Structure 1
Amino acid sequence: MQRDERAAPAGFPAMARATEGLRPPYAVVDLGALDANALDMVRRAAGKPIRLASKSVRCRQILRRTLATDGFRGIMALTLPEAGWLAEEFDDVLVGYPTADGDALRKLAVDEHRASRVTVMVDSPEHVEFVAEAARGGAPLRVCLDLDASLRLFGDRVHLGPRRSPVRSPGQARALAEAVLARPELRLIGLMAYEGQIAGVGDNRPGSPVRRAAIRAMQRASAKELRERRAEVVAAVTALAPLEFVNGGGTGSLESTASEPAITELGAGSGLYSPGLFDAYTGFRHHPSAFFVLPVVRRPAPDMVTVLGGGWVASGPVGTDRLPVPTWPTGLHLTATEGAGEAQTPLAGPGAAALGLGDRVWFRHAKAGELCERVDVLHLVRGDRIVDAVPTYRGEGRAFL
């Protein structure tokens, strides 16, 4: 599939013409928007390579397309079985989370070719022992240390950020590195720290301006603290062994993370699809490129229609920001009493008046890759034509988590 670098985002009327022969529900990716987003992410990364987060994509053809773009290098997988599958094709796959899958570790260790392509994550001496024991008798496994990147305040009484690794200080990281280096079954390759409280939290959410100001202040303080601490940790670990990479960041923090001298690569993927949650960021704006389409099946009131299904709710803390966003035609919104439902989703607003039975409503998922868990195929559109239909992980019969 040849890429047209001149392609622009298609626009909804063009995409509607392209897909009028499809039967909903179906999912669409606008290639012009996707490619523009990839190039903008590379620009924001300021010369540092981006490791593509596969959980935010969940389609091998999109992974291939993006990794062909200068500025992207390597994959960050969600699970070890997924990484093993991807390593059949891709030569640099980091598992972004620790695994307790002993069978998958043993399978990796006895496959020297895949073991040379996959890096597993550890965040405790106990996990080092678990991985080393599973790898005994096989090829040495590549290992990355996971560093806690959260912001702690008031003597650790306030924790802001994802609950990830227990490893926080240079001393703790050095001790974990020593535990890896003491096991001949393991090779210390890299270090990772994901600052979810910066990369994954929009600073312009609807609601209280005081809350928005507090989020921005927290993110500035966290970026400063992590910049200093991450550099100290990297220095402590590299005093013991050289590292192939130091990974950090996400789509929401590409600029700030790339500015850290200790960082050698970034991790990101959601920006390719630019889902609904990204509307709440002030520092950047990508083009929405991934959509799903549902048919109108009821008209319960003159100013309301109901579409079939729609309860494609995103993971995370419960809130309206996890619901899908009705995007086109304009002038539609979910109702407070029903939200997005498994069987039906009522939509109200001035845009409902022009819709009849069988008409289609285009939605954006709140998060990126989770859309692909709902569909087997992504229809790739350029302008007003479908140029390809490619399987998601689900369409290839793969459900990793």
Structure 2
Amino acid sequence: MPEPFDRLLSATAELGAPVAIVDEPALWANADDLVRRADGVPIRVASKSVRVRSVIERTLARDGFSGVMSYSLDESVWLADLGVDDILLAYPTASASGVRALVTDERRLAAITLMVDSPESLDLLDHLAGPDHPRIGVCLDVDASLKLGPVHLGVRRSPVHSTDEAAQLARAVAERPGFELRGVMFYDAQIAGMPDSSPAVRLVKKRSAAELLDRRSKVVAAVREHADLRIVNAGGTGSLEVTGADPVITELTAGSGLFSPGLFDDYDAFESSPAAYFALDVVRRPTDDVATLFSGGYIASGPAQKSRLPKPAWPEGLSLLGTEGAGEVQTPVKGRAARDLRLGDRVLLRHAKAGELCERFDTVTIVAADGSVEIVPTYRGEGKNFG
């Protein structure tokens, strides 16, 4: 059995399955590669793509990483209370409890920057925070999608797309008491989140990168007329080289690249080094070339299609059955390698995404190069469910 599979399975053999496993050498090699690709631009760690506090903290302690991009305000407050002092919330919030917790603590207010994309976002924050609330730091989410006539290429996020729209919102923030405009964010999902699966995708990514290079500089210049920006955030694991080359950018964001899940196998810019797995036990042998695993229905978010299914990683040559896929309590796998599997053997699989796997487990087992193990809690294992 080749490295790292022998090491990972041997180190976790006495642990009950299903078990989540992180290959520590691959994890830190991936971190180093992200820093190399960022070429000197600081990387903010996307917490949604990790969801293991100890991994987030250890990544922040490494050169090249600075700050967290969170996905929930309640999560942001929790991290700030645990000592993280630079947190950019990636999405607008409607959490009444989170806003109340934010405005009652000066340290939280200093550490956490909220995301807004409309005057209505400001209205909601005013309502949740109450009258005469202290100054809340905010960042403008600017739509980074590519628009070709009526065609929208990218995710549906902010309504703010043009330079004029960004300037109008920046002016609205600057003129409203109780807010401090700290930054601007551009998430280029159609570049960072799209594997290079075809010439058409590569063409779209190239054209979008060129359009953003021009539009970002104009947006940032227009917003700077209304605020002294400290954050110009952009990019993701799949676009670090392209986005980081823009001189207007002050920081990048990455998270999935630490674990390198299944959706990151087909990028041209970098080679995927899987670091996160889960192991399932063989519990049935319905036919000679099919082995059935216990559990495994860990389906990734997004469009309901094959790319969101987990991928068998070891033994090589296994695949899921089209009629069952990854099941709630059983997952059959087929292939020549299934003939050699016996009851009680283990199969390693990879989740299609990164942090979502950790919502299925209370702990992850980190396996070092020498085979030693450290079991650490996930967000879920610390009793935290942020949606």
Q: When the two structures are superposed, what TM-score results if normalisation uses the length of structure 1?
A: 0.94
Q: SS state of the match for residue 390, structure 1?
A: strand
Aligned position for 1:3: none
Q: SS state of the match for residue 232, structure 2?
A: strand
Q: How does 1:142-181 map to 2 (within 5 A)?
A: 142-154=137-149, 157-181=150-174
Query: C-alpha separation between the residues in 2 aligned to 1:260 and 1:73?
Result: 19
Query: C-alpha separation between the residues in 2 aligned to 1:145 and 1:115?
Result: 17
Match of 1:39 among 10, 32, 39: 32
Aligned position for 1:198: 191
Q: Tell whether the 8 Å contact from 2:71 to 2:91 is kept in structure 1 after alignment.
A: yes
Aligned position for 2:283: 297
Gaps of 5+ in 1: 1-8, 205-211
Match of 2:250 among 258, 264, 268: 264
Q: Tell whether the 8 Å contact from 1:314 to 1:323 is kept in structure 2 after alignment.
A: yes
Q: SS state of the match for residue 288, structure 1?
A: coil
Whether 1:58 and 2:44 are equivalent positions in the alignment is: no
Identity of matched residues, %: 54
Q: Tell whether the 8 Å contact from 1:132 to 1:183 is kept in structure 2 after alignment.
A: no
Q: How does 1:76-95 map to 2 (within 5 A)?
A: 76-88=69-81, 89-95=83-89
Q: Tell whether the 8 Å contact from 1:19 to 1:385 is kept in structure 2 after alignment.
A: no
Q: SS state of the match for residue 99, structure 1?
A: coil
Which string of whole-angstrom CA distances, capped at 9 and with x for unpartnered residues, describes residues 80-127 of structure 1? 111111111200011100011233212211111111100000000111
Query: C-alpha separation between the residues in 1 aligned to 2:104 and 2:173?
Result: 19
Match of 2:6 among 4, 7, 13: 13
Q: Aligned-residue CA RMSD in angstroms?
A: 1.1
Q: Tell whether the 8 Å contact from 1:17 to 1:384 is kept in structure 2 after alignment.
A: no
Q: SS state of the match for residue 140, structure 2?
A: strand
Aligned position for 2:93: 99
Query: C-alpha separation between the residues in 2 aligned to 1:183 and 1:138?
Result: 12
Query: C-alpha separation between the residues in 2 aligned to 1:150 and 1:285?
Result: 25
Match of 2:208 among 209, 218, 222: 222
Q: When the two structures are superposed, what TM-score results if normalisation uses the length of structure 2?
A: 0.97
Amino acid at match of 1:150: S
Whether 1:315 and 2:308 are equivalent positions in the alignment is: no
Q: How does 1:370-385 map to 2 (within 5 A)?
A: 370-385=356-371
Match of 1:126 among 120, 131, 137: 120
How many residue pairs match? The answer is 384
Query: C-alpha separation between the residues in 1 aligned to 2:25 and 2:272?
Result: 12
Query: C-alpha separation between the residues in 2 aligned to 1:337 and 1:77?
Result: 37
Query: C-alpha separation between the residues in 1 aligned to 2:96 and 2:345?
Result: 50
Query: C-alpha separation between the residues in 2 aligned to 1:341 and 1:18?
Result: 26
Moved more, 13-22 or 67-76: 13-22
Amino acid at match of 1:286: S
Amino acid at match of 2:238: G
User: How far off its partner does 1:10 sit?
Assistant: 5.6
Moved more, 132-141 or 104-113: 132-141
Query: C-alpha separation between the residues in 2 aligned to 1:237 and 1:146?
Result: 12
Match of 1:345 among 316, 327, 331: 331
User: How far off its partner does 1:48 sit?
Assistant: 0.3
